[in-house]
Structures are given as C-alpha cells and as structure tokens.
C-alpha cells in the first residue's frame, strides 16, 4: 500500500478539517476597524502554538524530552514543539513504563520542563491514569501548568508499553469516549489539545475497528487522532490515512518504521510526526561509553575534550540570565581580594613540605584557609609562594612566586603581590586557621585598616617568635564595649605591662587602606629595609602614620608552627 490515491470515499464524505478552517477564516466579515493601521498581534499562547502546529497544513514535528535540560536542548535544536514521553520520563526516574511513575510525579517533571522552555508541550498521558474522573483532574492540572496538550490511549489502566508483548486489552469504546469528553469539558483554555491514541493496530485488531474507534473518538471531542503501529513498514499507517481522510489531524510515531522517507508522510496527509524517545536513548549510549572509558582509563584525558563543557551546562540552564538579574535586583557585590603569604619553609614535622600544604584531615591547610575566605564571599585569591613552590597548589587561585624567599622577609613577599593590593583587600598568613566569624567581623568594619588580635595571648603561652601587640587600649573583657582600640606596635618584645594580645596574621584593608600599604611598601623600599622587613615592622610603621584599628577576639584561631599545633589543628576543624 502506498500513500497514492488518497481521495477515497471516506475522505469525500468527511468534512476536511484543514480546508474548512481556512474557508471559515476567509468568510469572516471584517471588523469595523479592519482598515486601521497594522497592529502587531500578541504572541500566541503555548496552547495556541501547539494547535497551530498540529492543525497546520504543513507537516510538523515534535521531539521527545524527559526533563528540563532535554527540553532546552529540543528548543535549541529548532523544534517548535515537545513530546513529553511517558516512556522516557519513567525511564529517567529508573521506573518501568507501566504507570509506576504516578501522574503527580509526571506532573512535577512537566513543571520543570515548562519552566525550562518556551515551546508548547504535548504530554504522553498514557490511559489518562484511570477513568473519566482521573482524566478531568489531570487535564485541569496540565492547564494550570501551561502544558498545551495531552495524548491518551485507548487501553486499560495500568497501561503496558505498546511494544511489549502482542495483543493487549483495549478500553471499552464508550468508556474511553467518556474519558475524552471529561477531558475536553475540563480544559481551561479553548486551545488545549486532547489527542486520542488508537491502539487497535498495535493490538492486532482490524483496520475497520481502528477506523471505527478513531471516528468515535473524534465525535467525542478529540482534537486529533494518533494512529499507532509497531510494524517495520508504514503500510498500515498509509492505509489508515487513506481511509481516514481529513476528518481530524493525524499524528504518528514512526519509531518502528523509521526507514520510511518523511516525504511519504507528507504525501499521505499526516499532520504531525513524533520522534518519541531518541534523546533519552542517545544519552544512554553516550553515558555508557563515557562511564566505561573512564572506568577503563582511570583518567579523564580521553574524555574531557569530547563531552559538553561545564560552561555549556551553565549556558543551557541560563546562568547568564541569573547574573543579569543579580545585577538588577541585588545590592552591588563587594569585590574583596585576598593575598595569602605562603612563601615560608617546611611544615611542622615535615620539613620537606611547604608549611601551607600540611594535611589537615584530608585537606591542605591552604585549602582550608581559602575555604573560609570563600565562605565569606572572598573569591579573588592570590597566593605568594616560595619554598618548594611547585608543591603549593590551590585551585582557583592565582599564584605569585617569591623566588628570593630564602633571603627575604614577609614584607618582600607582600610586595611581590603589590599589584593585587587594590580596593578592599585581605592579607593573611598561609599557616593559620580561624573561625569564620573573625573574618566576618573584619569585613564588617568601617575602618581603613583593621587587624585581628587575640586578647588572651600571654608571653609564656607557647615557644617561638610571636607577633605581640601593644594598643592604646586593652581588651575590656566585654564584647559590648564598642570603644575603639588602635595599634601602636607589633613586635616580639612587647613588655608584659603593655601587652594587649597577639596579632593573628589577618588584616583587612579598605581601598584607602590598600593605598596606604602600597605607600608604606614604597617607603620601605626607598629606605632599603623592604628586603628583610616583616609584617610586624610594616604594621608598626603604618600605625605611626595612619589609624590601624585593633579588633579583639578571644581564641578561636591557630598558628601552626609545631607538631602540637598540627595535632590541635586536626581537632580544630
């Protein structure tokens, strides 16, 4: 059977749905303002867009999608409508196509799909998930979510996929017509499409029964008929189309007869072709190949260049729109940079390892420090490294090398990152840990230069050099005391009676404070003291010229110099 000779008696007796619609439009009287200047028509709703696709005289195509991302891919490919497949939605949830996914679960997926795309969606509604009552509730919920149409099949609930087994029981004809009527009575948009899927040919019934059912469904109110076949050729589809005529749009799913040239569908007067499951099937193939290769190679080298990039994912899901919305609706983000001084020598107990790379419960000390910075919104991080610099690694940070680390001090390391001391800037030693609230307090300060000081520090608290602080006022013992304290000196030899605490190795600068630090580095360079100067010297000099606010804390930080410090650090996090 070929699609030729389509002017059968059945077609002649039927009212052509396409030509009839066009004649009605032509015969409609002009409105009184028909001669008015042209006005742009509003964009069609999704309901109207689907109706236009299915009722258009040109052959249209719906592409399968099963989630929000695949819906975006369908739209990106240029299709004008989506088939939300029951099979592929079920499979993507790891379930069988036997109504194991409830209609409410399918509805949740459809909502994500509708949000992800502007295209109209025709959903595979299986049997309507029950009797007429289930169908009318389903239709109302679909309309609420902007789903443009539903296709229901004339089988019993729960359904079995059409390609499983042989003859499957069909619904009683009159009972199924009741489902169609209930669905049409429940739609809240006049353009909502209800398509009746005829399973007679799939189930081994006669062509006459398939036509009888299709006509009964059309009379019950179905907007289109989907005639299904699992034969490897389209002969029975063409036979049905020839006898059906133009009584209602005819939709097909050529999964099994995929070799049929598409032009033959056009010649047969088919309205719409559904490509029903190919995005999911192709993704399964790709995922299997990728998983097997990574498992075999134990590496991503052969994969990374052949799969979609992470940036492509960001583009598909609309990150650019979110960034634009953030600029429109959120307060301007503070651009805070950070400089971590990590050029010093070996770690406690591991002299061959840079101190900042010592392991703290599975992560390097540097990574933990950077994690605290990032949690507080500081993402522009520079790390000044020196000793065994190739071993100092921090993803997402910019590395600056102090190749003179063995002969220079901390001030010189800071000067290596002088270009990064601009705007609001944090400066931190690379061998410290601290609770996030300490950093947040510094970031909340309105001062131009503010340093974190541990007020509980005592001279005999631990051995080794320490950055002791003298300020114009010691800690009062109460955090409610908001009187400011300002730095006078940072050194290792502050007298006990003058001691106010220990500098933690953390500074926050405003844009003006950053300019002051750059000026002080330039002055130290001019005086010849920059090479061997340390941070206490820089801070003391800075305090002699400008106000340096002291922010007092009581513990909740660690400076990791010894094995005992390291053991404490592993209990700190």
Q: Report, as residue numbers or ranges, the catalytic residues.
A: 97
CA distance 293 to 288: 9
- Whether 422 contacts 511, CB under 8 Å: yes
| Cα dihedral: 175, 246, 62, 3 (round 10) | 110
Considering Cα of 46, then 47, then 52, then 54, what sign does the dihedral take? positive
102 closest CA partner among 68, 70, 134, 71: 134
- Whether 144 contacts 188, CB under 8 Å: yes
- DSSP annotation of 110 reads H
- Three-state secondary structure call for residue 440: helix
- Three-state secondary structure call for residue 536: helix
- Three-state secondary structure call for residue 508: strand
- Report the 3 state secondary structure along 60-105: EEEEEECCHHHHHHHHHHCCCCEEECHHHHHHHCCCCCCCCCCHHH
476's tokens: 């009062």
Question: Residue 269's CB: how many other CB atoms inside 10 A?
Answer: 21
What Cα–Cα distance (Å) separates residue 170 from each residue in 204, 250, 325, 334? 11, 20, 52, 65
- Whether 247 contacts 217, CB under 8 Å: no
- Three-state secondary structure call for residue 452: strand
Residue that has been written with the tokens 């019934």 in this structure: 205
φ/ψ bin of 99: left (φ > 0), alpha (ψ from -120 to 50), beta (otherwise): left
- DSSP annotation of 335 reads -
180 closest CA partner among 134, 129, 135: 135
Cβ contacts of residue 279 below 8 Å, gap of 6+? Answer: 63, 64, 65, 66, 70, 73, 74, 88
């Amino acid at each position: 059977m070929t699609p030729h000779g389509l002017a059968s008696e059945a077609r002649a007796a039927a009212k052509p749905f396409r030509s009839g619609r066009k004649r009605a439009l032509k015969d409609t009287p002009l409105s009184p303002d028909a001669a008015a200047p042209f006005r742009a028509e509003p964009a069609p709703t999704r309901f109207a867009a689907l109706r236009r696709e299915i009722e258009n005289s040109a052959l249209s195509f719906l592409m399968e999608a099963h989630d929000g991302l695949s819906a975006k891919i369908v739209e990106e490919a240029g299709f004008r409508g989506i088939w939300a497949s029951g099979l592929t939605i079920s499979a993507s949830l790891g379930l069988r196509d036997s109504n194991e996914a409830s209609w409410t679960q399918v509805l949740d997926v459809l909502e994500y799909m509708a949000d992800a795309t502007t295209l109209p969606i025709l959903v595979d509604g299986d049997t309507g998930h029950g009797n007429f009552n289930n169908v009318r509730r389903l239709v109302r919920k679909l309309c609420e979510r902007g789903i443009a149409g539903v296709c229901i099949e004339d089988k019993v609930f729960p359904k079995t996929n059409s390609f499983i087994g042989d003859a499957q029981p069909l619904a009683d004809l009159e009972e199924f017509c009741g489902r169609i009527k209930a669905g049409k009575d429940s739609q809240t948009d006049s353009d909502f499409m209800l398509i009746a899927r005829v399973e007679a040919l799939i189930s081994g019934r006669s062509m006459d029964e398939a036509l009888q059912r299709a006509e009964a469904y059309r009379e019950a109110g179905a907007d289109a008929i989907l005639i299904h076949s699992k034969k490897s050729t389209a002969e029975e589809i063409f036979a049905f189309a020839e006898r059906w005529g133009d009584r209602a749009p005819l939709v097909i799913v050529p999964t099994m007869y995929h070799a049929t040239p598409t032009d033959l569908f056009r010649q047969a007067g088919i309205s719409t072709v559904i490509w029903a499951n190919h995005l999911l099937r192709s993704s399964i193939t790709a995922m299997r190949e990728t998983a097997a290769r990574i498992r075999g190679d134990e590496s991503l080298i052969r994969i990374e260049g052949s799969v979609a990039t992470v940036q492509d994912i960001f583009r598909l899901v609309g990150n650019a729109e979110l960034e634009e919305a953030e600029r429109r609706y959120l307060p301007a983000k503070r651009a805070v940079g950070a400089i971590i001084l990590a050029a010093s020598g070996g770690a406690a107990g591991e002299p061959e390892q840079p101190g900042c790379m010592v392991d703290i419960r599975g992560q390097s000390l540097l990574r933990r420090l950077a994690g605290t910075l990032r949690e507080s919104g500081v993402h522009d991080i520079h790390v000044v490294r020196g000793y065994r610099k190739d071993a100092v690694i921090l993803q997402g940070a910019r590395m600056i090398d102090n190749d003179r680390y063995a002969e220079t001090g901390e001030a010189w390391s800071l000067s290596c990152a002088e270009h990064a001391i601009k705007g609001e800037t944090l400066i931190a030693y690379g061998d410290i840990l601290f609770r996030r609230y300490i950093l947040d307090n510094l970031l909340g300060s309105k001062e131009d230069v503010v340093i974190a000081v541990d007020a509980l520090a005592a001279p005999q608290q631990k051995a080794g050099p320490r950055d002791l602080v003298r300020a114009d006022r010691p800690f009062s013992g109460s955090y409610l005391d908001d009187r400011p304290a300002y730095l006078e000196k940072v050194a290792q030899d502050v007298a006990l009676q003058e001691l106010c605490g220990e500098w933690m190795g953390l500074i926050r600068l405003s844009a003006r404070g950053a300019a002051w630090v750059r000026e002080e580095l330039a002055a130290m360079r001019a005086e010849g003291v920059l090479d061997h100067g340390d941070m206490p010297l820089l801070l003391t000099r800075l305090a002699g010229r400008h106000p340096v606010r002291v922010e007092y804390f009581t513990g909740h930080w660690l400076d990791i110099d010894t094995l005992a410090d390291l053991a404490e650090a592993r209990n700190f996090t």
